[in-house]
Amino acid sequence: MAMTPKLSLPRFKIAMSLISLNSSPHSISVGLSDIQACLHATINSFSSIIRIKNDTIDVLDHLGDIIPMPTLFCSTWETFNHVVKGYCRNRIGQSYIERGNYQILRSNGDQVTHHADFTRMVEEGETVEMSIIVQPSVEHDERRCPKCHRLNTRVVPDGSWIHCITRGCDKSFRCTRRVRGTKTSQKRVVANGEPYPRRPADCRFFRRVTLRVEYDEYAAEVKRNLHKMERLTMPSREKLDQQMQHDVELRKDLIDLVVLIHESLDLRAETLYLAVNILDRYLSLRAEPVPLAEVKVLAGTSLWLAAKKEDVFVPTLYNIIAACSLSLRYEIASHVIQMESKILHTLHWMLEHPTAFLWFSMSIRDLWGKTEVKHVGWFLMELTLYYPEFVQYRSSSIAAGALIVARTVLDPAYHRHGERREPLEVAAVLETFLGTHFNDLPVRLVEKYSRLPYSNVSRLVMIYYSQATQTFIR
């Protein structure tokens, strides 16, 4: 029944009461009786509306607000979902609600209400909660908080809700896992024509978060093989020092040359790390020192091999010669081809190597798209290529150590609890080095990362460690 007919009678009686009160012949008692009759009629008219409050369920949404949902809209999941979408429009987390990436939890917080059982399980007067579903990377640690990123080391991950112990965080989250198949993965990753949100910037605002990790059943085996190959393709620090005659400046000039050629040919970032690995392994396995006259050819050939293995664009022989600033003579071209053959035979044709850039790309997914962290990490990892102190560490540890330092620079309150020993050691060496040589970093590297596409992170890092050093001296 429409509300207009119900309200017409009370409105008429209120108007008559006001007219009666303003008329002098009319007694006050008659006016009061009219008002009492008007109130009685109004209460009777709104009796059905008052009963609506009793016929509701309270939905505690993802931001902690209560949605009083009439049971009329809980008859089907589609109707309930439509009302929730309308309520959450133009609010934080709207994209997740629009995609349907949320769960409804019963009052105990552990029982998930499935769509098919929603009407049967939800009862009148009950309070239910919403939890946003986020899909992090496969390498995500189930104990890491999606808001403050702290690793809750004292918690045993068993699929139940975890309450972050960091002061001021108070985030509730849990991790569920599913084996990823071909068809399932496609349906999960793309919903309604839009990609599944993997790194939400607004995740810190959500009251409850369910981390749904879809993992490949072979992921652990692939990772073990990467670690095995990483150990097999590490250069020797001692032999490399002998080749470089323990001259740090000589190595800096050599790596600077590789970086210059890499930039001039506009190759992928991972190609640079693979080229340096090929260069270091060749120098480690070579018996006699490399003549200084062959350094340019060695640098260009190492990058050429790395591009053939890793890059989409493979430069030609004459591109390499021109990038090395060598004269385009037949002897030079023949020399480059001979150097390529020497490197391949010395390395037994094993060019594969899981670089620090690869490990860092796998780890950065858990940070949900923090661009500055990524750029600072790239700057620090590229810095480790210049100095022999980092040759002895595995590329996975260099990536993890660079990530630790990057997060510390951008958030000095970052907790390092739960990190592995070797990445912490790499981070300590990096911080010691930056604290003592922040004004003596490679000029080309500093200029590269002082540009806008890299968020000017080289200047940010230098300012941070210069201030930290001054504070320590005081």
pLDDT in tens, 331-363: 788 888 999 999 999 999 999 999 999 999 888
CB-CB contact of 93 with 62 (8 Å): yes
Domain 355-473: CATH architecture, name and number where available: Orthogonal Bundle (1.10)
CB-CB contact of 145 with 152 (8 Å): yes
Over residues 296-305, the mean pLDDT reads 91
CB-CB contact of 167 with 148 (8 Å): no
Q: Judge whether residue 242 has pLDDT over 50.
A: yes
* Of residues 322 and 24, more confidently modeled: 322
Alpha-helix runs per DSSP H in 111-166: 118-121
Tokens representing 57 are 């369920």
Q: What is the per-residue pLDDT across 379-417, written as a single tens digit (0 to 9) for each?
A: 999 999 998 889 999 999 999 999 999 988 988 777 777
Distance CA 62, CA 393 (A): 43
Give the whole-number percent of the chain exceeding pLDDT 90. 20
Alpha-helix runs per DSSP H in 218-316: 219-232, 237-243, 248-265, 269-285, 295-310
CB-CB contact of 413 with 166 (8 Å): no
Residue among 205, 181, 200 at smallest CA distance from 137: 200
Sequence spans of domains, the chain = 56-132, 233-354, 355-473
Residue among 393, 305, 386 at smallest CA distance from 350: 305
Q: Scanning the structure block, which residue is given the tokens 């190595």?
A: 251
Residue among 148, 156, 168 at smallest CA distance from 209: 148
Mean pLDDT of the chain: 76
Superfamily of domain 233-354 in the CATH hierarchy: Cyclin-like (1.10.472.10)
Over residues 416-437, the mean pLDDT reads 87
Q: Judge whether residue 46 has pLDDT over 60.
A: no
Write down the pLDDT at residue 376. Answer: 93
Distance CA 171, CA 207 (A): 6
Q: Residue 187: which pLDDT band, with cuts at 50, 70 and 90?
A: very low
What is the pTM for the complete model shown?
Answer: 0.60
Cα distance from N-terminal residue to C-terminal residue, the chain: 79
CB-CB contact of 251 with 292 (8 Å): no
CB-CB contact of 340 with 304 (8 Å): yes
Q: Residue 319: which pLDDT band, with cuts at 50, 70 and 90?
A: confident
Distance CA 143, CA 171 (A): 12
Residue among 273, 262, 268 at smallest CA distance from 230: 273
CA angle 227, 395, 222 (to 5 degrees): 25
What pairs with residue 66 in β-bridges?
A: 60
Q: Judge whether residue 54 has pLDDT over 80.
A: no
Distance CA 279, CA 261 (A): 14
Q: Judge whether residue 135 has pLDDT over 70.
A: no
CB-CB contact of 246 with 365 (8 Å): no
Over residues 25-31, the mean pLDDT reads 54
Over residues 422-446, the mean pLDDT reads 88
What pairs with residue 134 in β-bridges?
A: 211
CB-CB contact of 316 with 362 (8 Å): no
Q: Which range, of 22-36, 219-233, 283-297, averages the lowest pLDDT?
A: 22-36
Q: Do 233-354 and 355-473 come out as alike in CATH topology?
A: yes
Write down the pLDDT at residue 199. Answer: 44
Distance CA 150, CA 135 (A): 18
Tell me how crowded residue 22 is: count the other CB atoms within 10 A of its CB.
Answer: 9
The CB-side HSE value for 249 (13 A sphere, CA atoms) comes to 1
Element (H, E) at 58: strand 56-60
Q: Judge whether residue 176 has pLDDT over 80.
A: no
The matching CATH number, chosen from 3.20.20.100, 3.30.420.40, 3.30.450.20, 3.10.20.90, for 56-132 is 3.10.20.90
Tokens representing 47 are 């009796």
CB-CB contact of 361 with 273 (8 Å): no
Q: Judge whether residue 35 has pLDDT over 50.
A: yes
